[in-house]
Structure 1
Amino acid sequence: MVEMVTENKMNYVVTSILRAEFGGRTKALIQRTKNLNEHFGLEFTLVTTNYNANYNNIYDHYYEKGYANEKIGFENVYDYFSGRNYKNNEIVEHPIEIPGYNVRPNEKNHTYKYYKNGQFVRLRTYDQTTGKLKFDDIIVPGSSQRRIRYEYNDFGLCHRKIMYKPNTLNKIEEIFYDDQGKIYLSFSHTGEDENSIWRGHLLHNNTIIALKDEKDFFRYAFDHILQAGGVTFCDARILDQSLLNCSIATKKYFILHNSHNVTGTIAKTYQYLIEHADKADKIIVLTREQLSDLLDLGIDPARMTVIPHSMDDAETVDFASRKPEKKFVFIGRIVPQKQVHHIVRAFSQVAEKYPDYWMEIYGDGKETGDVSQLIDELGLGENVKMMGRTDNIQSVFRNAIASVISSHYEGFGLVIMESLHYGCPVISYDFKYGPKDLLTDGENGYIIEKDNIDLLADTIIKMIENPITEVKLSNDYYLSSTIEKWGRLLEQQ
């Protein structure tokens, strides 16, 4: 029984970062954690390893939104060693005026320049919403070069000091402070790039611990935060080495959210896990295709299993209400991996034959500006529309002829599953991984040669002229199926 494995044991999810707004990996791990808690009564602590001196705001947001309940807690490796509990109600104020300095404000971006003897020597940045001090920068006199930065949290406490290599913004030293202003951690950097750590020192239990690098710090943190007897899920490849070398007797499950082989060779981020797979209790992939590829690398089949993402069975979809407009849709991050510019270029060909059809692009990301510029350059303002983010994907998919996926790679292609769930067929490049598991050519969409923009345009036109209707998602991708697989896996341990 699952209860026998995890009775009175704490279980963990280790990940690199939790953001207030999220998709992809974070969305999947949050939903998985909630499902395992609700169906099996498992208690969890989500452990993050990035530095965020105001993580309490994220935790509060997750509870308010229902992403977590009272059986799901949070911990951060830096907060653990600093003893920070975010219960300090006394806020330290930092007035703009500083005795001995002349100040020149730039109220537009809430920064203030400080001068002494006519020289610019200090820069303060205040939060534009709260008005609280965020950064206090010490400037090299007679220049604009930052020499030291002091960072402050929402309580007005200095939590980190950063020193920089001359004439760069590359760190050479980081010093971390607890809420009493005492140093508990320091990192020395090479100064060769922005974040290269080559050694660290941690004060823990009145002992100074020497750390080889950041991964060693995470390993030491796991050795003290995790408890024996439960299960620990690792969702971030940057943490594989640290968890595999952790000495705590916890079952170690590694969830692969992306392709391990994009360029024809094993991605560097996946190498350690693949080379040390014998130390993992289970490696969980999202597709049968990726399972096959990993088995070809010689990983023991007993350590592998497939458990895909899933949709909630309880969510009913009224397929009769599906009345597509003359439009296609893309939903996702607008980043290089998604190759959204392929969709824009393909639709320029579609618009020549069917000028009354259009494409709606939902999402944002680092290439949003570039994609908007391409739309303007091609004169597609009426045919390709940038819609921003959406929280109502059901409405988006219900009113579209098909969704279009032009990714270079994915771990699963979550948006394919969501599109099919809402009755919307999918046109997708043949990338690794997801399309081959989720799509049947001609039945619920089309899988086409990757990076073939002309073929993408032709397939969109084919869908206009011969639309696919009555699309449904396979029962394998609903919660009732995947939760059964999780139950069987947990019973094995």
Structure 2
Amino acid sequence: MKNVIFITSRLDEKHGGLTASLLNKVRILNENKNLISTILTFHAASEFNQVKSTIMQRYNLYKKVKIYNINEFFRSRCLTAPEKKYDINTEIYTPVKVNDTKYEYYHLGVKVLEIFYRNRQIKEVRHFNQSNVCFQKDVIDNDGYLYWRSYYLNSQLSRQIFFRRDLTPFLTREFDAINKSDKIKSLVLFEKETIRFNTFNDFKAYFINFFIEKPITYLVGEARSIDPVILNIKDECIRKIFMTHSIHIRPGTDIIRAGNRHVLSHLNDIDALVLLTNKQKEDIDRRFGVRSNYYVIPHSIKIPTITEKREQNKVVIISRLHKEKRIDHSIKAFAQVINKIPDAKLHIYGEGEEKENLQKLINKMGLQNNIKLKGYSQQVNKILQSADCSLLTSQYEGFALAVQESIANGTPVIAYDIDYGPSDMITDGVNGYLVEKNNIDKLSHSIIKYLKKTTKEKKIYSTAAINKARQFSNEQFSNNWFFLFDSIKKKSPNMNPIITFFNINRSKFNKHKYYLNLQIRLNKEINRVPLFKASFLHKSTLINREKTKIDFIEPHTIRQNNNCFTLKFIFDIRQFKKHETYLTSIIIQDHDQYFDLPITINNYELDTKSLSFKKCKVLINTEHNTLQFEL
């Protein structure tokens, strides 16, 4: 049986799509492959056991997954005395009822306590000093036991002590209260052996190690905050897998999102990167190099039974009403639709911060009779089945679950061709339309075009939508994950290549040609020749990585031994664009590893003056000591 551990930051009763996808994943893998996996979490939650029970029931997970929390795990160990429930003596204080869940307690006119109740049980007790400043807070679990006690310095959290049910402490967390920081400075774990940790991440790694088993344990990082922890665990029997749930580029920029940088800057040190769409994989290939350990595993979906009759000219949106969803684009486009199809209607389902602004826009454009904000609904399948088509006009998506749900219900989708998701599920003109992003006129044109189709034509689109959705079955989803597990059983050591020798000469007979020779050494012996390329990056295109231009030269490769290779190639300036500076590097690609090594002139003497002439200057970047050509 495979030992698969999914690692996330927290598990809440009310949770978003990331947690939902994880919980559905472990259920599907159990039902299709009999895998009993493990989920690890790290948040402090006094109601964790109750939340876990609720989630296990909601997602039908009993006997299908094991869920552990770092605090509950250590809290249940090393009990040395009888259990003792929390008790506080308030007899000498004067109680003042604030409301049904909060009481204040006074002594000689000074407030000394605030006690909060839930279901008539004490949940939290706050202690106050003479200056009415809270200096201590006690948190009690649902069974009436003290869970943790927080201490404050000038209202800033300074220390937390976590308790077992026998009232013995099992963990202390120290905070940098003097500098008004909520960052944990250190932790001390009190068990048979007392252990001090310098960082919370060190403590997390210690916890994870309890679940690592030979011969192979698969660690799947589900939350970006956990990535550094997994990356730093050193154990030959683990395989490190990282799940991508969203875009890796900051919207509207070419900047890698901070949370994604840990993994994307260590791609040679991981065993697998899981992506939701082919389009995102293509972007990762382009930015970080082609590797064999990128796996596209989209979310799965079950095809529902069609029970509703479609209403002609009805269009729907199911979405959070947030700015990045750009529902206003759909409203503006629909104003043009109504001019051509007066009885067309757009029903928008969802809640969010933009609801009031969207209603104002509808009113301002006089569209109240055709466009309705319908609020949140759990009847997703009924809503989609009742519509001719659905819309998606987001700025970006990690996968676009709304598209998948729509096509599974046989409802074609008209969507902006954004990153990422729509193009993986919509075949333009077959089961919907892909529209140039931000083009409201083209969006309205596509809606009109579809609504004007005959019933027979719409039926063809609907059938095509369901057929496309069948590609995302639970069975295929499970097969994809197990293919990944089997593919990375054998661990590939990092090559860590270095350039050990370099020289460059200009032809005596043809001054336009430069002859470059390099020697590359790997830190492991391999029985094959990696793919080598000489890379010449156009410096002027560095501003936007989406449009970066690179020219490649295939070198002549000579194997010296199993870990040393000589590369020879010719840089002919006549083959390159003029008025450009070229940054040089060597690309090395071998299965799951990809390296882009700048050609550096560290220990080699280079007479750039004699190598240069009117049409080409040979340069050395003074900051990085790298070779460049300026034409």
Q: Structure 1 length normalisation: TM-score?
A: 0.85
Structure with greater proportional helix content: 1
* 1:340/1:406 contact within 8 Å kept: yes
CA distance in 2 between counterparts of 1:438 and 1:399 reads 21
Partner of 2:93: 101
Q: Pick from 444, 449, 456: which aligns with 2:431?
A: 444
Q: Secondary structure at the match of 1:446?
A: strand
Aligned residues: 473
CA distance in 2 between counterparts of 1:425 and 1:181 reads 59
Partner of 1:296: 286
1:112-151 superposed matches below 5 A: 112-127=103-118, 130-143=119-132, 145-151=133-139
Establish whether residue 171 from structure 1 lines up as the match of residue 157 from structure 2: yes
What residue identity is the alignment partner of 1:15?
T
Could you list the runs of 5+ residues in structure 2 that have no partner in the other structure?
Answer: 490-631
Partner of 1:29: 22
Q: Secondary structure at the match of 2:396?
A: coil
CA distance in 2 between counterparts of 1:124 and 1:134 reads 8
Residue 385 of structure 1: CA displacement? 3.7
Q: Secondary structure at the match of 2:207?
A: helix
CA distance in 1 between counterparts of 2:128 and 2:152 reads 11
Q: Pick from 78, 82, 86: which aligns with 2:75?
A: 82
Cα gap change, 1:178 to 1:298, in 2 (>3 Å):
same
Partner of 1:4: none
1:165-314 superposed matches below 5 A: 165-166=153-154, 170-191=156-177, 196-228=182-214, 229-248=216-235, 249-262=237-250, 263-299=253-289, 301-312=291-302
CA distance in 1 between counterparts of 2:178 and 2:453 reads 57
CA distance in 2 between counterparts of 1:342 and 1:175 reads 51
* 1:91/1:156 contact within 8 Å kept: no
Identity of aligned residues (%): 26
Q: Secondary structure at the match of 2:188?
A: strand
Residue 481 of structure 1: CA displacement? 2.9
CA distance in 2 between counterparts of 1:45 and 1:295 reads 31
Q: Which moved more, 1:113-122 or 1:407-416?
A: 113-122
Q: Secondary structure at the match of 1:222?
A: helix
CA RMSD of aligned residues (A): 3.2
Q: Secondary structure at the match of 2:480?
A: helix
CA distance in 2 between counterparts of 1:367 and 1:122 reads 40
Residue 421 of structure 1: CA displacement? 1.0
Partner of 2:556: none
What residue identity is the alignment partner of 2:99?
E
Partner of 1:67: 60
CA distance in 2 between counterparts of 1:484 and 1:357 reads 42
What residue identity is the alignment partner of 2:429?
G
Residue 442 of structure 1: CA displacement? 2.7
Q: Secondary structure at the match of 2:114?
A: strand
CA distance in 2 between counterparts of 1:202 and 1:369 reads 49
Partner of 1:338: 325
CA distance in 1 between counterparts of 2:160 and 2:408 reads 48
The answer to which structure, 1 or 2, has the higher relative contact order (CA under 8 A, 6+ apart) is 1
Residue 398 of structure 1: CA displacement? 0.2
* 1:94/1:132 contact within 8 Å kept: no
CA distance in 2 between counterparts of 1:385 and 1:149 reads 47
CA distance in 2 between counterparts of 1:440 and 1:425 reads 10
Q: Secondary structure at the match of 1:297?
A: helix
* 2:85/2:165 contact within 8 Å kept: no
Partner of 1:403: 390
Cα gap change, 1:287 to 1:138, in 2 (>3 Å):
same
Q: Secondary structure at the match of 1:231?
A: strand
**Higher Rg of the two aligned structures:** 2
Cα gap change, 1:357 to 1:120, in 2 (>3 Å):
farther
What residue identity is the alignment partner of 1:132?
Q
What residue identity is the alignment partner of 1:297?
R
Structure with greater proportional strand content: 2
CA distance in 2 between counterparts of 1:185 and 1:344 reads 54
Question: Runs ≥4 in structure 1, deviation > 6 angstroms?
Answer: 192-195, 376-379
Cα gap change, 1:453 to 1:211, in 2 (>3 Å):
farther
Q: Pick from 484, 487, 501: which aligns with 1:489?
A: 484
CA distance in 1 between counterparts of 2:338 and 2:77 reads 57
Partner of 1:41: 34
Cα gap change, 1:49 to 1:345, in 2 (>3 Å):
farther
Residue 373 of structure 1: CA displacement? 6.4
Q: Secondary structure at the match of 1:225?
A: coil
Q: Structure 2 length normalisation: TM-score?
A: 0.68
Q: Which moved more, 1:300-309 or 1:236-245?
A: 300-309
Q: Pick from 3, 16, 27: which aligns with 2:9?
A: 16
* 1:35/1:483 contact within 8 Å kept: yes
Residue 355 of structure 1: CA displacement? 6.2
Partner of 2:542: none
CA distance in 2 between counterparts of 1:133 and 1:172 reads 24
Partner of 2:507: none
Residue 233 of structure 1: CA displacement? 1.9
Partner of 2:606: none
* 1:177/1:183 contact within 8 Å kept: yes
CA distance in 2 between counterparts of 1:132 and 1:382 reads 50
* 2:172/2:189 contact within 8 Å kept: no
* 1:15/1:47 contact within 8 Å kept: yes
